[in-house]
Amino acid sequence: MIADIPDLAELIRSAQVQGLSGDDSLPAEARQIIGAADKERRQLSQEELLNLCAACGQDASLPLRLQNHADDLVNQARCHLLEQQPQLVQHGGALYPSERADACWRDCWNFLRVIVYAVACQRSNFTNPRGMAALRDLYRRMRVPMEGLNIALSQLKVLAAHRFERETDQVLVNACFQHLLEHLNKTAVKS
């Protein structure tokens, strides 16, 4: 097991969701803003968000609304998951003890944080392929309950899309979540 610790530490460093900061088709200013915020695993400041949206030609109200309601959206998704699968956080459950559950909610919040970046750039294809492969491997090794994570993220998708009246806004938010779910659940194909 000790021999696996450096390997696990490398997986944790390599597990990266967003690929926008390396997307040369985005303006340099947009890549810089996203790269700085993602490195610190934080939401965008209002000034960064406005600058990012201006650089990408996006109305800032959509990503701003998502970002401002991130905590509430994740909390609602958490409540939905625990109504569906309360055993996850009970003794012997996959999200027991509470530190495992806290890590799950933190991951959901971080997924939404990166989706805000994607929405600000009007990009539904936003993941880093190598980083997502490392994340899938990390989740497999850590025995993350993927069914539960998928329920939480699917509910987060519904809740986030319902924040908007315009169909085009809903389509973008749904496409971002769909892209994330597809790449989170991708399995290796052997020929």
Q: How many domains does the chain have?
A: 1
Look at residue 115 in the predicted model and tell me its pLDDT. 98
Residue 164 lies in a domain: yes
| pLDDT at residue 8 in the model | 86
Angle between the 98-121 and 61-68 helix axes, to the nearest 10 degrees?
A: 170
Q: Which residues of the chain have pLDDT under 50?
A: 1-3, 190-191
Cα 177 from Cα 109, distance rounded (Å): 13
Give the model's pLDDT for residue 163. 86
Residue 47 belongs to a domain? yes
* Residue 189 lies inside a defined structural domain of this protein: no
What CATH number does the domain containing 152 carry? 1.10.490.20
Q: Is residue 190 part of a domain?
A: no
**Tens-place pLDDT, residues 62-94:** 999 999 999 999 999 999 999 999 999 999 999
Reported pTM: 0.93
Structural domain boundaries enclosing 164: 4-184
Asked whether residue 102 is domain-assigned, the answer is yes
